């Protein structure tokens, strides 16, 4: 608990992610990453040192397309969280362009999900959107950008969008997937929604397998070293790039 808490607070302060009066939409996929982020942003309000409001946004769909009904275990959890904390939630219909081929590849799915979240956040008066991407996610993104674009760049950690109308933040940037599992293991989080049908065939999975192979071969600090190098590259370039 201590490690993930301190890393969250450090990231928020390092990148000036949150300020007094912010209304933050937390993108909740239903996985442990996003539920941990929502829980931590509520629990650590005093330590973060800012007064802000939270809204959980869950998109009804994945790479297979929109869902006719929400994932009931997640809705029950969100209802319980709302009753306990007062944090409201929104079930946002998945907005897809007419004629979008299904199932979508990872890029198109991510693009459409973000669009849905951004529109919903703006309509509900939010000025920031928080994503639950952690260190492992960012290392995979850095490798994808290296292989496809020749740049060791991560996701945007804290960045304005649409001329400053919205601002995206990723407070779990310093936290590993293993640390999130440890935090979430006794939190009573629901099982996640059905997995995306494209999950086992994505280039992101190839990057994940590559990192795991390097660690198993004895390069135990491979993930951390790639992260540090990508973070340094982003600092030198003055920004981040997403894939």
Percentages helix, strand, coil for the chain, rounded to the nearest 5?
50, 15, 35
The two most distant CA atoms of the chain are separated, in Å, by: 49
Omega prior to 222 cis, within 30 of 0: no
Name every residue whose Cβ is closer than 8 Å to that of residue 97 and which is 6 or more positions away in sequence: 112
Mean pLDDT for 22-33 is: 97
Neighbours of 6 (CB within 10 A): 14
* pLDDT surpassing 70 at residue 3: yes
Q: How confident is the model at residue 237 (pLDDT cuts 50, 70, 90)?
A: confident
- Looking up tokens 């960012």 gives 138
pLDDT at residue 142, as a whole number: 96
Mean pLDDT for 4-21 is: 97
* pLDDT surpassing 70 at residue 228: yes
Report how far residue 56's alpha carbon sits from residue 17's, in angstroms, rounded to the nearest whole number. Answer: 17
Average pLDDT of every residue of the chain? 93
Q: Give the N- to C-terminal CA distance of the chain in Å, as an integer.
A: 30
Token readout for 236 is 């030198």
pTM of the model: 0.93
DSSP 130: E
58-67, 120-129, 130-139, 169-178: least confident range? 58-67
Q: Which CATH superfamily is domain 2-237 in?
A: HUPs (3.40.50.620)
- Looking up tokens 């639950």 gives 132
């Amino acid at each position: 608990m201590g490690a993930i808490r301190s890393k969250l607070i450090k990231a928020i302060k390092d990148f000036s992610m949150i300020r007094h009066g912010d209304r933050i939409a937390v993108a909740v996929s239903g996985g442990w990453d996003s539920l941990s982020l929502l829980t931590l942003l509520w629990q650590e309000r005093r330590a973060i040192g800012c007064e802000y409001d939270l809204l959980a946004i869950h998109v009804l769909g994945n790479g297979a397309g929109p869902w006719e009904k929400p994932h009931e275990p997640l809705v029950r959890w969100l209802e319980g969280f709302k009753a306990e904390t007062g944090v409201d939630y929104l079930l946002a219909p998945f907005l897809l362009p007419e004629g979008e081929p299904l199932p979508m590849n990872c890029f198109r799915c991510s693009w459409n999900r973000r669009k849905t979240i951004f529109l919903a956040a703006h309509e509900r008066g939010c000025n920031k959107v928080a994503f639950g991407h952690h260190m492992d996610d960012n290392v995979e993104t850095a490798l994808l950008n290296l292989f496809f674009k020749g740049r060791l760049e991560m996701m945007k950690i804290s960045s304005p969008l649409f001329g400053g109308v919205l601002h995206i933040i990723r407070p779990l940037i310093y936290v590993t997937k293993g640390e999130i599992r440890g935090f979430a293991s006794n939190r009573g989080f629901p099982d996640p929604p059905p997995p995306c049908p494209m999950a086992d065939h994505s280039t992101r999975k190839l990057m994940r397998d590559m990192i795991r192979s390097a660690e198993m071969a004895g390069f135990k600090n491979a993930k951390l070293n790639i992260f540090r190098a990508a973070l340094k590259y982003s600092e030198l370039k003055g920004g981040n790039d997403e894939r």
